[in-house]
Amino acid sequence: MTLTVHHLENSRSQRVLWLLEELELPYAVKRYERNPVTMLAPAELRQIHPLGKSPVLTDGDRTIAETGAIVEYLVELADGKLGPPAHREDALRYRHFLHYAEGSLMPPLLVKLVLGRVPFIGKRAQKRIQPMIDVHLDWIERELAGRPWFARDTMTAADVMMSFPLEAARSRAGLDAGRPATIAWLEKIHARPAYQRALEAGGPYAYA
């Protein structure tokens, strides 16, 4: 069976390509471009999954949607590589960040993005969202100041999940040199050979 990533430009699916490269699993990429006016995914993605969202992974006749579910599927496929560490506390941190990335961190970032496209009142409303984002970024900075990776002293799939929201935060939500541990973490993942190969596989990506 062939793993195929249905990859939308400048989206969460870049993480899936990176993970596949880290796990050294063979895969194919089918690229999709956003509507240049609405920036939404094209309708043809609904032929892969009814929600029409990316990423979607197909493995033979099996279709898996949602980044976190895809990440867990691939870690299992790779016999646990980059999965939860053996130590219980590290494993709990792993699970926390695996779900925190989309469950808590990404929603205010998405709200800020949407508000930025609303004339007049959107810009004002963004100012109320930024303090909420800052609470997350300050906490993440403290976490990364205490260890090099999110779960433990080596990289795991939790770091893969955390990459997109922090890349987005650096692009549009105030993550800068004032949080040096987080910036150092971003620069570290961007320098990884597997990350660079994933960029080649996925095409232009605005957040790297």
Which pLDDT value is given to residue 1? 60
Taken in order 27, 33, 34, 35, the sign of the CA dihedral is: negative
Give yes or no for residue 35 having a pLDDT over 90: no
Cβ within 8 Å of residue 47, ≥6 positions away: none
- Could you tell me what percent of the chain has a pLDDT over 90? 81
- Stretch 48-69: mean pLDDT, rounded? 95
What pLDDT sits at residue 67?
A: 97
End-to-end CA distance of the chain: 31
**Per-residue model confidence as pLDDT tens digits over 150-177:** 999 999 999 999 999 999 999 999 999 9
Look at residue 195 in the predicted model and tell me its pLDDT: 98
Least reliable range by pLDDT among 23-27, 119-123, 143-147, 183-187: 119-123
4-to-84, 119, 145 alpha-carbon distances in Å: 24, 39, 36
Strand, helix or coil for residue 28: strand
What confidence score (pLDDT) does residue 208 get?
A: 77
The pLDDT tens digits for 89-125 are: 999 999 999 999 999 999 999 998 877 777 666 677 7
Give residue 115's pLDDT.
79
Q: Which tops the pLDDT comparison, 204 or 17?
A: 17
In this predicted structure, what is the pLDDT of residue 120? 65
Model confidence over 131-141: pLDDT tens digits?
Answer: 999 999 999 99
Alpha carbon distance 203, 208 (integer Å): 11
Distance from C-alpha of 168 to C-alpha of 112, rounded to nearest angstrom: 11
Domains of the chain in sequence order:
3-82+194-202 (3.40.30.10), 88-192 (1.20.1050.10)
The runs of H, that is alpha helices, within 48-174 are 67-77, 88-100, 106-115, 121-146, 157-172
Instruction: Output the pTM of the full model.
Output: 0.93
Mean pLDDT over all residues of the chain?
93
- Please report the pLDDT score of residue 123 as a whole number: 72
